[in-house]
Chains A and B, each alone.
Chain A
């Protein structure tokens, strides 16, 4: 699946990136100083959304140059970034993988959290339906991510399936360097208990995802 995404990115980015004129947006000859200056004068703190959010980590910086990030030359760099993200994954502290799928459904429905109109003490939603089809009942779902219908039915609840799913939710960049999915655990969007509920939504045989 990862390769398909990379291939799609290559196909889509080709013509659009070829039309650059003047100094290129990225890479050799790009005006990095002008871009940094523009960022600095163009944004301000508002509510909980502070300017430090514009300071990129290595993953964000790498994925901000779509041509370089998706090209074959960057394969080694992608693997390095995936390994670094994998190293951030914290496994469930009590060995329990699955919470309550009904709580998971509520989290999946909620797109709330971390904008400048949100408050610091509000729990964040998980934003899942914005991009994924999940239960057959909810037809108002996005299509940026793959459909998750039948997710657990296909994968079962082997140790491997549990670990892969947990890692994907905790840090989506651990398996795909420039995945469009947020790194929910790593970035502190969701806590361990919330991730357990999402795990149940996907993997519990009783969840409507697997009916």
Chain B
């Protein structure tokens, strides 16, 4: 070993010793966060959004004064039970791979005659998006306890999952961040927030099975599109367009990687 390597070795040893001492404290802090999360499971305010979503689904609206009850989410017209667990997938009528929210836009346009634009352009806290968040809560709730069944077979699904994988590792912006910067290592944290390692089945499942979710700190019901949007904000990227292909590709990559795991939606987060 030359002097430089010795220095590095000494630095590593010292860092390791420091880390061990600090670890006991940290474990306690993490444990109390876990206990808080568990306590939250007792009553999830997402239920209120599920009820609103159900009403939105069943109430006639739009220029055609129709409900969404004939919407095909992939299991046939009107089937909501288990539908979220098999999305995103390819739809023959649009010849596109769609996630829940892009599929809802299709149904709102075709069944209800609504213009999807205001829904796409609204901020996540504005009324059109509140509808989407509530619908997401309701529909995802009817897949709770079911296994994710997302196994790309259609050529467009196969292409999309690879585009999603590539998007996940795509670095850009002033901070050189990609999704993988935070979600590409096993067992790391940002501050005290533990991060799932999304390229693994376990990590992808921990993310995919728990969103949409109610966020206690902000009192908001977040759809998966909102979750991904805020990841890109923190990544210092420009804003992803609502229900755009990049967001669907990432969703498909996560869902396919997590396939087989049990849905826990809608989730609750601190």
Task: Tell me, rounded to whole Å, the shortest Cβ–Cβ distance linking A189 to chain B.
Answer: 6
Chain B residues with CB under 8 A of A24: 162
Q: Does B182 contact A (CB under 8 A)?
A: yes
When A16-B199, A42-B247 are in contact, do A187 and B175 touch as well, CB less than 8 Å?
A: yes
Q: Are A129 and B191 in contact (CB under 8 A)?
A: yes
Contact B241 A115 (CB under 8 A): no
Contacts of B197 in A (CB 8 A): 12
Complex: A113 Cα to B233 Cα, angstroms:
11
**Which of A42, A64, A114 sits near B174, CB closer than 8 Å?**
A114
Among the stretches B51-59, B109-117, B135-143, B153-161, the one at the interface with A is B153-161
Interchain CB contact under 8 A, B162 and A66: no
Give Cα A132–Cα B171 distance, bound, in whole angstroms.
21
A46 contacts across to B, CB distance below 8 A: 238-239
Chain B residues with CB under 8 Å of A41's CB are 241, 244-245
Q: Which residues of the partner chain A approach B186 to less than 8 Å between Cβ atoms?
A: 12
Q: Looking across the interface, which residue of chain B has its beta carbon closest to that of A21?
A: B158
Task: Decide yes or no whether B39 CB sits under 8 A from chain A.
Answer: no
Tell me, yes or no, whether B94 is within 8 Å of chain A by CB.
no
Using a Cβ–Cβ cut-off of 8 Å, how many residues does chain B contribute to the interface with A?
63
A interface residues, how many (CB within 8 angstroms): 71
Q: Does A75 touch B at the CB level, under 8 Å?
A: no
CB atoms of B18 and A150 under 8 A apart: yes
Shortest C-beta distance, B207 to chain A (Å), equals: 15
Judged by DSSP, the binding face of A is loop
**Least distance between B180 CB and chain A CB atoms (Å):** 7
Asked if B191 and A147 make an inter-chain contact with CB atoms under 8 angstroms apart, the answer reads no
In the complex, the answer to whether A139 meets B29 with C-beta atoms within 8 Å is yes
Can you list, as one digit per residue, whether each of B228-257 has a CB less than 8 Å from chain A (1) or not (0)? 000001101111110011110100000001
Is A12 a contact of B29 with CB atoms below 8 Å? no
B8: interface (CB < 8 Å)? yes
Within 8 A of B (CB), among A35-81: 35, 38-39, 41-46, 49-51, 53-56, 59-61, 63-66
Closest B residue to A131 by CB, please name it: B190
Q: Check if A155 sits within 8 Å of B7, measured CB to CB.
A: yes
Counting CB contacts under 8 A, is A143 at the interface?
yes
Q: Write the nearest CB–CB distance from B229 to chain A, whole angstroms.
A: 10
Residues of A within 8 A of B239 (CB): 43-46, 49, 116
